[in-house]
Structure 1
Amino acid sequence: MLIPMADVPLWYAERSPRDTIAIAHGSDTLTWEQLERGANRRARAFAAKGVKPGDFVAIGLPNGNAFFETSFAVWKCGATPTSLSWRLPRGEAAAVLDILRPSLVVGGETDWNAPVSLPSDFAPDGFSDEPITAPVARYWKAMTSGGSTGRPKVILDHQPAVSDTSAEPPLGIPRGASVLNPGPLYHNAPFILSHHALFAGGRLTGMVKFDAEEALRLIEAHRVQWVNFVPTMMHRIWSLPDAVRNAYDLSSLKIVFHMAAPMPPWLKEKWIAWLGPEKIYELYGGTERQGRCVISGIEWLHHKGSVGRIDDTCKLRIIGADGNDVAPGESGEIFFLPNEGAGCTYHYLGAEPKRRPDGWESLGDIGKLDAEGYLYLGDRLADMVLRGGANIYPAEVEAAVTAHPDVRSCVVVGLPDPEFGQRVHAILELDAATDAQAVVDSMAEFLSDRLSRYKHPESYEALSVGLREDSGKVRRTLLRDERAAWLNENRPFRLLPSRTRASAD
């Protein structure tokens, strides 16, 4: 049965015991009835600020129960929510808001200077909590992308704000399941999957901020059945001492998905061995929904490194530089086409899609297909390092470097080089107490059987702060351009040259 997303809290409030918890963040919980009443109060408060059906509302709130009261309130207004990081700097926020032109901003930093806004601690006191009827929003969500390049865009999902109470939830989420959300709700996957867990009547346990051991504790405590991690989170969990990692009962888990960033094969093998291949799944696709691939751990063991085969809702091609399809095993740019045609799933505000005249679209990734149609990713075209005529893909180098036991995370960028055009530079995330130069000095030998010599980083940089967000995303363009500017201006930063790399050429 199709119902408005706005009515989901009431639907389950009327069909569940009154004390059934829908959402929990720590000790802060909401029953279905509390979610319904809180969203109704907020919706009336938003309408009083001028929100009308068809409008956009920007949500700049951290993970928490108030976020979900707000998203359902937006739908109750007949409007479309856009989730933004509440920590966006003023310039990035202004660029997004200029494109979106929301009728209201809820939360966010005080220096965003939104024309109409409510603070993050806003309480809708004095507004009625009785049910609300409003038109269904034409677009159920409008997520942002591209802010790290300085060219933000908004992706309007063409699905209307309705939910089918009889349909199977996506990606194997069981109906009524206990689901953990460890990721920030301003990213697409956590936003979608958390709400779909609720649309399916499940209990959502959210994390305000990711912590590796706390994630395991929550899985045990709430008998979590389904969770979506990003590889960064899985690496942090695997880096826990064995005694800590194995102290928790994870037998309730049915499915562990990962997506949004490349997964080092060695790390995936560890998780498959730990939890079983039947529980580990991976998805590759974009917020635009032109196409996606999914692979189980069982399939992956027979196609190591693959992200799966194309979904039956769409088609996939690998196109070379000459504009023609490449043969299996050859690399090219990945193009998708939904079965219902180009532009059926989304459109942009603030950008144009990379679309061929025949309708096929690219997300800018490169890859190859094997003889059985399994896709293997390379890198984004914009991230590729071109060194002396050789293409070097950061994801491949990062996966090899991150396998080093002292490296928590790694980001690889190409820096200007007078001889080769670009050189490979690796930014390492290390513990503050780790001897960075010793790690760098050990890299050549460590990478010797993992990477061809010409792919080894020529310089390193060590940081003790996180390089990747909890979403697994990295601002690679910003990191690259910042360091290139420093080199151009002869500004010092902590370069750690590889003392054995020069002999490779």
Structure 2
Amino acid sequence: MYLTQGLHRAVQQHPDDVMTVFGDRTRTFAEVADRVGRLAAALQGLGVGSGDRVAMLSLNSDRFGEYLLAVPWADAVLNPVNIRWSPAEIAYSLQDSDTGVLLVDDTFAPMLPALREAAPGLRTVIHAGDGPTPDGAESYEDLIAGHDPVPDARRGGDALAGLFYTGGTTGHPKGVMLSHANLMVSALGILSTGYLFGSGTRCLHAAPMFHLADMAAWNATTAAGGAHVIVPAFEPVAVMNAIATHGATDSLLVPVMIQMLIDHPQIAEHDLTSLRAVLYGASPIAQSVLERAMKAFPNADFTQAYGMTELSPVATLLSPDDHRRGDRLRSAGRAAPHSEVLVVDAEDDEVPRGTVGEIVALGGHVMLGYWNQPEATAAAVRDGWMHTGDGGYMDDDGYVFVVDRIKDMIVSGGENVYSAEVENALATHPAVASCAVIGVPDDQWGERVHAVVVLRADQTVTAEELREHAKTRIAGYKAPRSAEFVDALPVSAAGKILKRELRAAHWSEGDREVH
């Protein structure tokens, strides 16, 4: 299995059908395949060799989709960059992965001087935008026009397909290594359900394409020979226009996006009846929001996916039938067709049903490991089972319920935020003596990053000042949206901060301390 396989099938079977729609640009499968082969040739001409990493820092676009196919076509490895990261975080990922080639669009081109300085290993920049090409960069379209297509390397199977950087518990991102087989097993598992990204799909990409969740939708749709409707970023009116204008049928949306759509005053002005399937993840959806969404999208079925980057990314699915019944909406669903899921104790023995333990998963979707971090890999993957760091239980029918996080992680608006990253940033403020970062419930974001801070003697600072300080060191979405100031943090006899005590003041639900 390999990421370009679906493109070859589509060119063979329906070459003149539309594959991508982006703004006023529409391209067929045959046109995309030709451009992908030319871009792969250009990458090889720029010195990209087998297994070399190629990064892309860009909003969603048809060119992003071409990048996802051209890099493996050239026998290289994807490294999609988190567009919400700070320059320092981006530079770290480029240096850590030894990435020599970066594609960048107009939005992020102004970041190039800082990235070049912080990541000296970056030797080539390709400008994948519509504006003027920055000094010292290659033009994406000129490269395509100036090269003939090369044969597809058909890099696949257990070969490394991409590095997908996640936040780190130590404050540094980790590169998750996923193979072609990992990614395609997850995509085909989704397709095998029969209710997502099937025949005739026109998949709307409104979630960020750098994110593995949206890439799963891209891979499944491409494997099925479907089309892609792409908007640069999530914006309610743009999304509604794309659905109404282009007849989008399927989309990945996080719950906060769904709520922003149904809350928008213009929703009744758009014909959204073409949408037939919505895949969402990161947190369960409130029943009131789901009921309103089902009215707003009258022909759409809803599916929740639970997983993580290390699982390529899907482990469980809560099906449309489960949503219609409505009795398990707080569940994360049951093991997806390609996944085996258990709940285990500290000795990795399965616990009785209804007992809380750690959620683990086994299958062809489990990552190869963390880039250059064998100890972290060995700790996370034991006997083939990926240890998610999520605490939960399974009922008698195999439904998984997530109730806590063993990892010190917050999920806010669909993004993972590791507390250590935020605490490290806050600790550099001269007024902060010590701090702890937790997730607290938030109606919009599911969970909100919240700081509990002890100030140094005779020092003062506001919550907003702390937030702005943190944003100079980490991505804005990781910075605390709220803060409280205390005289001391609760600690155990061993001196460990007792975050459960800090969270207890904010969470009222007895059986759950996470969204």
Is the structural similarity TM-score above 0.5? yes
Task: Verify the 8 A CA contact 1:57 1:102 in the aligned structure 2.
Answer: yes
Task: Verify the 8 A CA contact 2:304 2:318 in the aligned structure 1.
Answer: yes
Q: Provide structure 1 residue ranges, at least 5 long, that are not aligned to the other structure.
A: 386-392, 419-458, 466-472, 489-500
Task: Verify the 8 A CA contact 2:56 2:79 in the aligned structure 1.
Answer: yes
Give the whole-Å Cα distance in 1 for the aligned partners of 2:340 and 2:212: 22
* Aligned partner letter, 1:374: Y
1:413 to 450, 458, 466: 450
What's the counterpart of residue 97 of structure 2?
100
Task: Verify the 8 A CA contact 1:278 1:296 in the aligned structure 2.
Answer: no
Task: Verify the 8 A CA contact 2:15 2:30 in the aligned structure 1.
Answer: no
1:144 matched to 2:165? The reply is: yes
CA 87–356 in structure 1, closer or farther in 2 if over 3 Å, else same? closer
CA 100–5 in structure 1, closer or farther in 2 if over 3 Å, else same? same
What's the counterpart of residue 126 of structure 2?
119
Give the whole-Å Cα distance in 2 for the aligned partners of 1:71 and 1:282: 25
| SS of aligned partner of 1:235 | helix
What's the counterpart of residue 12 of structure 1?
10
Q: Provide structure 2 residue ranges, at least 5 long, that are not aligned to the other structure.
A: 129-138, 411-418, 420-436, 456-461, 469-474, 489-504, 509-515
2:399 to 374, 391, 403: 374
| SS of aligned partner of 2:26 | strand
CA 279–97 in structure 1, closer or farther in 2 if over 3 Å, else same? same
What's the counterpart of residue 370 of structure 2?
348
1:211 to 221, 224, 235: 235
CA 270–148 in structure 1, closer or farther in 2 if over 3 Å, else same? farther
Percent identity over paired residues: 20
2:34 to 28, 32, 37: 37
What's the counterpart of residue 317 of structure 2?
294
| SS of aligned partner of 2:172 | coil
What's the counterpart of residue 439 of structure 1?
none
What's the counterpart of residue 433 of structure 1?
none
Task: Verify the 8 A CA contact 2:283 2:446 in the aligned structure 1.
Answer: no
Task: Verify the 8 A CA contact 1:289 1:346 in the aligned structure 2.
Answer: no
| SS of aligned partner of 2:59 | coil
Q: What root-mean-square deviation, in Å, do the aligned CA atoms of Structure 1 and Structure 2 show? A: 4.1
Task: Verify the 8 A CA contact 1:168 1:175 in the aligned structure 2.
Answer: no
Task: Verify the 8 A CA contact 2:3 2:184 in the aligned structure 1.
Answer: yes
Instruction: Report Cα offsets for 1:158-214 as digits up to 9, x if no partner.
Output: 235997999983662112321111111111011221233123221110110111132
What's the counterpart of residue 359 of structure 2?
334
Structure 1 window deviating more from structure 2 (107-116 vs 322-331): it is 322-331
- Report the alpha carbon displacement of residue 83 of structure 1 after superposing the two structures with TM: 0.6
- Report the alpha carbon displacement of residue 378 of structure 1 after superposing the two structures with TM: 2.3
Structure 1 window deviating more from structure 2 (48-57 vs 193-202): it is 193-202
Give the whole-Å Cα distance in 1 for the aligned partners of 2:29 and 2:487: 55
* Aligned partner letter, 1:367: G
- Report the alpha carbon displacement of residue 320 of structure 1 after superposing the two structures with TM: 4.8
* Aligned partner letter, 1:157: L
1:233 matched to 2:261? The reply is: no
Aligned pairs, how many? 421
| SS of aligned partner of 2:21 | strand
1:63 matched to 2:100? The reply is: no
CA 357–36 in structure 1, closer or farther in 2 if over 3 Å, else same? closer
Give the whole-Å Cα distance in 1 for the aligned partners of 2:38 and 2:300: 44
Give the whole-Å Cα distance in 2 for the aligned partners of 1:161 and 1:317: 19
* Aligned partner letter, 1:195: N
Give the whole-Å Cα distance in 2 for the aligned partners of 1:100 and 1:256: 34
Instruction: Report Cα offsets for 1:423-446 as digits up to 9, x if no partner.
Output: xxxxxxxxxxxxxxxxxxxxxxxx
1:157 matched to 2:157? The reply is: no
TM-score (norm 1): 0.71
What's the counterpart of residue 423 of structure 1?
none
- Report the alpha carbon displacement of residue 274 of structure 1 after superposing the two structures with TM: 4.7
Task: Verify the 8 A CA contact 1:145 1:154 in the aligned structure 2.
Answer: yes
* Aligned partner letter, 2:277: I
Give the whole-Å Cα distance in 1 for the aligned partners of 2:330 and 2:177: 31
CA 101–324 in structure 1, closer or farther in 2 if over 3 Å, else same? same
Task: Verify the 8 A CA contact 1:182 1:207 in the aligned structure 2.
Answer: yes
Instruction: Report Cα offsets for 1:28-59 as digits up to 9, x if no partner.
Output: 22222332222222212211111112222112
Task: Verify the 8 A CA contact 2:38 2:147 in the aligned structure 1.
Answer: yes
What's the counterpart of residue 254 of structure 1?
276
CA 360–252 in structure 1, closer or farther in 2 if over 3 Å, else same? same
CA 140–322 in structure 1, closer or farther in 2 if over 3 Å, else same? closer
Give the whole-Å Cα distance in 1 for the aligned partners of 2:486 and 2:122: 37
* Aligned partner letter, 1:318: V
| SS of aligned partner of 1:40 | helix
2:78 to 71, 81, 103: 81
2:334 to 297, 306, 309: 309
Task: Verify the 8 A CA contact 1:159 1:345 in the aligned structure 2.
Answer: no
The structure showing larger relative contact order (alpha-carbon pairs under 8 Å, at least 6 residues apart) is 2
| SS of aligned partner of 2:127 | coil
Give the whole-Å Cα distance in 2 for the aligned partners of 1:346 and 1:184: 24
Give the whole-Å Cα distance in 2 for the aligned partners of 1:474 and 1:266: 29
1:479 matched to 2:480? The reply is: yes
* Aligned partner letter, 1:32: F
Task: Verify the 8 A CA contact 2:54 2:99 in the aligned structure 1.
Answer: yes
* Aligned partner letter, 1:250: L
- Report the alpha carbon displacement of residue 370 of structure 1 after superposing the two structures with TM: 2.5
Give the whole-Å Cα distance in 1 for the aligned partners of 2:451 and 2:340: 33
- Report the alpha carbon displacement of residue 344 of structure 1 after superposing the two structures with TM: 5.5
Give the whole-Å Cα distance in 1 for the aligned partners of 2:249 and 2:170: 37
Give the whole-Å Cα distance in 2 for the aligned partners of 1:363 and 1:474: 25
1:283 matched to 2:284? The reply is: no
